Amino acid sequence: MNVIISGGGTGGHIYPAIAIANELKTIDPTTRLLFVGAEGKMEMEKVPRAGYEIIGLPVVGIRRELTLANLLFPIKLGRSLLRAQEIVRDFRPDVAVGVGGYASGPLLLAASLKGVPTLIQEQNSYAGLTNKVLARWAKRICVAYPGMDAFFPVDKIRLTGNPVRSDIQLADAQVEAGRQFFGLDTNRPTLLVIGGSQGARTINESMEAGLSRFVDAGVQVVWQTGAGFIERARQAITALGSPLVRAYDFIYEMDKAYAVADAVVSRAGALSVSELALVGRPAILVPFPQASEDHQTKNAMSLVDRNAALLVRDQDARQQLIGAALALLANQRQREQLSVELKKLGKPTAARDIAEEVRKLVQ
């Protein structure tokens, strides 16, 4: 079976795609897989690291503001469509999977024009523009939230949840390994801060301003800053002169990071929400306000409404986030209650369920 998986742009698209690929290979090791991404985007580095081949398209997105870059959009889209048609012709896929992001548009359209069945995986509670357009030709649409018939034909929808890497699901077995990996003290509480694969300025600046409060409270911090903020974070930690705070531009060992966390501060991207539900770590969510159609707030509220997470709005984070994190770490009963409700929302078989839907399209 030949399968193309297309999309990317952020970790929220890339890691579900890799999880689906891994599951397809587990079910049938003879499956041939090819990824198609956007040139210069994260997937061009993350996918080969996971052991898969990837081809980049020159496609770009349309910026919301009026810029010269938007004038190049139709040219790059046309080139991407031609390249996607070449890829489909040469690889001869039995099925094509789109996980959202710029590259999934040209590839799935090219596959559909060749009569190749397509499957869309929509991670968010509010469907992205690319997926809404592609739904017309898709044979199957796998979603993570109920009520997605507001965006897609109901007969095509399968409620599967978001696929998460298998190592994340085993986080509870990595507590001791995680403490050794990050060099943590067993007797101190630990806060994990993850702004997303590219960092989050509001979260980072809030943390930078409040680091001394964590040190004064004896709290250990494992802080993923993204590449753009790592130097500022390191300077702040050096000025503080405390070994309790550790900053990383990117954490590949997220199973160990979740394992050691007593509480988590995170954006509310679909992947983050799904991972938190599986590991059951109590969290404060700070939705990115510029996300399309404010879908991160909708993702967050799907947990908050079930008493499964706490919410601090982006505009309030600089004043409220540090205090909220310290209060949560000090309240064991609240953390336990959040964890219980959060785990009820996890879907540990999502990757397998989506892989089976892919195989059904071929059969």
Report the alpha-carbon angle 330-331-332, nearest 5: 110
CB atoms within 10 A of CB 85: 17
Q: State which amino acid sits at residue 172.
A: D
- The sign of the torsion formed by the CA atoms of 11, 17, 20, 22 equals negative
CB atoms within 10 A of CB 64: 9
- The two three-digit tokens of residue 270, written as one number: 């679909």
Q: Is 125 annotated as a binding residue?
A: no
Q: Is 296 annotated as a binding residue?
A: yes
* CA–CA separation, 359 and 244 (whole Å): 48
Q: Check if the beta carbon of residue 287 is closer than 8 Å to that of residue 294.
A: yes
Report CA 203 to chain centroid distance, whole Å: 17
Q: Is 339 annotated as a binding residue?
A: no
Q: Is 11 annotated as a binding residue?
A: yes
Q: Is 121 annotated as a binding residue?
A: no
Of 267, 264, 269, 297, whose CA–CA distance to 279 is shortest?
Answer: 264
Q: Is 270 annotated as a binding residue?
A: yes
Q: State which amino acid sits at residue 98.
A: G
Question: Which residues have CB under 8 Å from 296's CB, separation 6+?
Answer: 267, 268, 269, 287, 288, 289
Q: Is 39 annotated as a binding residue?
A: no
* CA–CA separation, 139 and 142 (whole Å): 10
Q: Is 275 annotated as a binding residue?
A: yes
CB atoms within 10 A of CB 82: 13
* CA–CA separation, 197 and 343 (whole Å): 23
CB atoms within 10 A of CB 321: 24
Q: Is 32 annotated as a binding residue?
A: no
Q: Is 10 annotated as a binding residue?
A: yes
Residue 196, burial from CB neighbour count under 10 angstroms (0-12, 13-18, 19+): buried
Unique residue bearing structure tokens 């089976």: 356
Annotated binding site: 10-12, 124, 165, 197, 251, 270-275, 296
Annotated binding site for UDP-N-acetyl-alpha-D-glucosamine: 10-12, 124, 165, 197, 251, 270-275, 296
